Structure 1
Amino acid sequence: MADTNDKIILALIGAGARGTQLILSTQENCSGVEVKYVCDVDKGRGGRAISVLKKRQKKKPKYVEDMRHVYDDKDVNAVIIATPEHWHALATVWACQAGKDVYVEKNISLSISEGEKMIEAAKKYNRIIQCGTQNRSALYSFSARDYIQSGKLGKIVLVKTYCMLPGGSPWILKPNSEIPEGLNWDLWLGPASMVPYNVSRHKAWYDWWAYSGGQVLAGDASHVLDLARMVIGDPDFPNSVYCAGGRVLFDDNREVPDYQTITFDYGNFLMTCESSKYGNYLSKTSTEIRHGNLFPNWQLNSTRIEIYGTEAMMYLGRHGGGWQVIGNDSQVLDEEYGYFPDEAHQQNFLESVRTRKIPNGDIKQGHCSANLVHLANLSYRAGKKHLLFDGKKITNSEEANFLDNRIYREGYEIAEVINE
């Protein structure tokens, strides 16, 4: 445990673009931080982070290939995990067992049971886990939640979430090839099945069920779903889910669809999600809006949330964009600008490491939001079936439960019971 005045020793696990951004931002914007390790299975990555950190902190971080070397170092207080999704749960459990606090990127797990094991590990080892759901540290997210709780929208009956990204590119499956020099392919695969090296797996891992819940749904829409849950009071799990969709823009045999329409039934209200990748007329909230006093063009905003009450409705932006409440005759009743919350989320994590207070993006809520991604994908993969869920398992489809049951490679298992 780090004392409130102690320096926090950090390590980065996964030194890609997002991991590098996270560790550099955390070191720059959080006081009393030293980065001791940069870990990646590819020796070609991590150089920029190490170079910049060496200049800033006057101490060069060590490069390591295997995260277990980081976990063996008693000096390390916390780790930032920014690997592909298939590593998130195991890396988090190992970190907790080693006495490290964790910042883990979204989507935080690849199955329903993995999230449960992460919660179990956090409780058993008294660890802080901050999920990379930055909207939970945005001031405008708190005020949107307060506004809804005040009852001014009336009774909430429908929540529509959107992650409709501009169009992508066609995909051609490359042939298997030799493992690139400097890459530990065995470690990259980790808990996933051993397969020959293929650049289409390595560089497009989000298009394979073995490594991801999908670039759009798990990688981006997960933020929108999590923010929607937060502002309406964090309901636990839906009673049922139905997901339709497929490959629309390019029928190129990728496993993961590029369009999904999802309905979550919570009993007293519905939540929907439009997750897609087509249409260059759609756009995310711009940098100018995220860092300035502007609102998006809601109609064509890729990542908006629409919350419908019996008295009024709210538009809500993700990662900045703020919120506006609309009443009769399109009148704007209330509004608040919103700003990009990445730095605030990193600062909240380090504050929690020092004080042991529950972080804004705690693992329990991260698990509840990740389950929306898992349930939607299971509905789609089980034949676009309406699935019933009791909070632990799907009750009307053995196929869906089978698909959710990850088979871990020997040496990379998550134990049925988390223990020493």
Structure 2
Amino acid sequence: MPKKSRRRSPGESSIEWRKDRKMFCARIVIGYKNTIGKTGEPTRNPVRVSKFCPTKTEALAWLEEQRAKLKRITPAAQTITVAQLIADYCADKTTNRAAKTARDYKLYLERFIQPTLGAVRLRDLEPITIRNLVKSLQDDGTVPGSVERALRYLKYMLNYAVNLELLDRNPAMRISVPKTQRRPLTVWSAEEAMHALEYARTHTHPLRHYLFVALMTALRREEMLGLRWRDIDWHHLERPAKRKGSKPIVYGALIPRQTVVYIGGTWKIQDRTKTEDSSDVLLLEPEILEVLRDRQRVQDQERVNAKSEWRELDLIFTSSIGTPPSESRLLATWREFCDDTKLPPIRLSDLRATWATNAEERGVTGKAIQQQLRHTEYRTTFDRYIRPSQRKRELAALSFEELYGAGGRRWQDEPKQPTKTQKTDAPTRGKNTAPDE
């Protein structure tokens, strides 16, 4: 019995010399066609395309082009390296991402990915290559968070290549590293926050006005530094006073419209906020309005002292010459404040979490907290910004009777052994259960 020939798979090809045409004939299988075989049973026959080429080099190039089409890879991608893709990807992110985000993409890809994989062609990039890179970074003692972030950005970049049809699949998709533990949330209690505010009232600290506004509005640091005087509505609405005959209470409003970010230690003003919800109107209590008026008086004096060095950017929280404060000086000043007040050191961004935690402790609803923090997802608010207080954790430790009712039996009570004829108090279910007659 003659040996049955093997069915060729898509992508398999051949080249032969045709004497009758004096040219090379290149053939490649591009798929299968469902037909009815000689026995009457359904079968799949290979579908081939062919081309005559004057030289073998041209025939090989044509076959390579056809294989690329099968894999949805453009012929130009055959020579593109990872380094070239990194440059193109970072340039694309610069146009449609925030400046700080684009900087992070470029920093991690060029620092951790490019030195090892930069010269590798995209077509030669395999999962084992990426896995070896991750293992090498781990063996070199790279911070686990940096390894995780570099791999995440690499996956994003390779997805970008797939969308451009430079790759047919993402070779990094199934590569993973152990997730790093998130930094424990550190916030001030209500007593600690009040102590900080009282210290700010009685001392001329450079961040005293910043602290008041941050603890009362829960704005992001970038939004706080980007606040302008024109963003404040000093007379937004009036509410009747609690005492008869008193003047109505005037509330202001604030609409964040821009942010200040630091890129490589240099500040940059962006004409947008982090999310669309970040531009919602925030009510300002009368006490905050008074703090802002005091900040105006201080800034007016700083403008006089700076003379020609003053830069008019209309910012509220500035350096002594009207520009955003340098990042290093801002953080150093904040550390000095925590040391002077003897309070637990927290980050400036933790003031948002301090507001959220104390608001939840006072009974503010979760939805209201989410809206104040201007988070898109409810989960983000409670997973990252709210830390249950000791009192809340103690309340969660309910006794058996508090949780399930007073009918619960104590563990020390002597258990009774039911007899065969004795009915138990436990509810019964089943087919034989009938109502009492």
TM-score range, shorter chain: under 0.3
Q: Which has more strand, going by share of residues?
A: 1
Whose helix fraction is larger, Structure 1's or Structure 2's? 2
Name the TM-score, length of structure 1 as normaliser: 0.24
After TM superposition, the score normalised by the length of structure 2 is: 0.23
Larger CA Rg, structure 1 vs 2 = 2
User: Greater relative contact order (Cα 8 A, min sep 6): structure 1 or 2?
Assistant: 1
